[in-house]
């Protein structure tokens, strides 16, 4: 099937946010625990409240000093794209509509987007939508701004929660499973799964 649009998660599908969290935590294991706690709190947040506060709460819950959270927030602009992100985005933008939806504040999203090196015309943050993914509203707002139906929009997920959230609103899902995460937590199966973004160019 050919698609009219591609909608990306930002912080894991296009950017290597894992490494930034690990550096901020001081180790890979602690970084993973902190990031996992953050995602759980965001998914349970209900109506939007600042993601910076959730980062701080997750750090406290994992026993990290408050200074670690402040440092992570300050270093948000150090996020780095996956090696093929730039080339794949440029190629897709020449073919069809592209958008990003992210569990982020507007301020942090602006910093993260700058790291891509490619301007993305449509960006929806959790702050814009009033809810965090995997609530349906961020996905629906992105689809509205794209002017596309869910079935004709390929969603590129970076985490298991996004696979289920995007599928629930009717989008086919490409899971960019860069870290080889277990499929066990998935509540819906992605249509495609790969550890690289390159196959997107064959799908669209």
Of 68, 14, 12, give the one whose Cα is nearest residue 36: 12
> Phi and psi for 66 in degrees, rounded to 5?
-60, -30
116 and 14 Cβ atoms separated by less than 8 Å: yes
**pLDDT value, residue 2:** 81
List pLDDT tens digits, range 54-73: 999 999 999 999 999 999 99
Confidence of residue 185 (pLDDT cuts 50, 70, 90): low
CB 48 within 8 A of CB 126: yes
Parts of the chain belonging to CATH 3.40.50.1000:
5-16+79-203
Overall average pLDDT of the 114-136 stretch: 94
Q: Which residue, 111, 42, 9, is CA-closest to 56?
A: 42
Please check whether the domain covering 5-16+79-203 is classified as CATH 3.40.50.2300: no
Q: What is the pLDDT of residue 188?
A: 75
- How sure is the predictor about 8, in pLDDT bands with cuts at 50, 70 and 90? very high
Q: What is the mean pLDDT of residues 135-149?
A: 96
pLDDT for 54: 96
């Amino acid at each position: 099937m050919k698609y009219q649009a591609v909608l990306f998660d930002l912080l894991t599908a296009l950017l290597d946010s894992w490494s930034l969290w690990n550096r901020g935590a001081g180790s890979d294991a602690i970084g993973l625990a902190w990031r996992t706690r953050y995602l759980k709190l965001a998914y349970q947040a209900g109506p939007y409240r600042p993601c910076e506060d959730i980062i701080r709460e997750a750090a406290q819950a994992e026993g990290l000093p408050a200074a670690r959270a402040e440092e992570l927030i300050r270093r948000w602009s150090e996020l780095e794209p996956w090696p093929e992100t730039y080339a794949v985005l440029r190629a897709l933008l020449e073919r069809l509509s592209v958008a990003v939806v992210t569990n982020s504040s507007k301020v942090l999203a602006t910093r993260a987007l700058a790291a891509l090196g490619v301007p993305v015309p449509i960006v929806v943050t959790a702050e814009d939508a009033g809810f965090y993914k995997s609530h349906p509203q961020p996905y629906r707002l992105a689809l509205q701004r794209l002017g596309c139906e869910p079935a004709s929009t390929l969603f590129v997920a970076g985490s298991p929660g996004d696979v289920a959230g995007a599928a629930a609103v009717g989008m086919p899902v490409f899971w960019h499973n860069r870290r080889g995460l277990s499929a066990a937590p998935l509540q819906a199966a992605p249509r495609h799964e790969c550890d690289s973004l390159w196959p997107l160019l064959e799908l669209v």
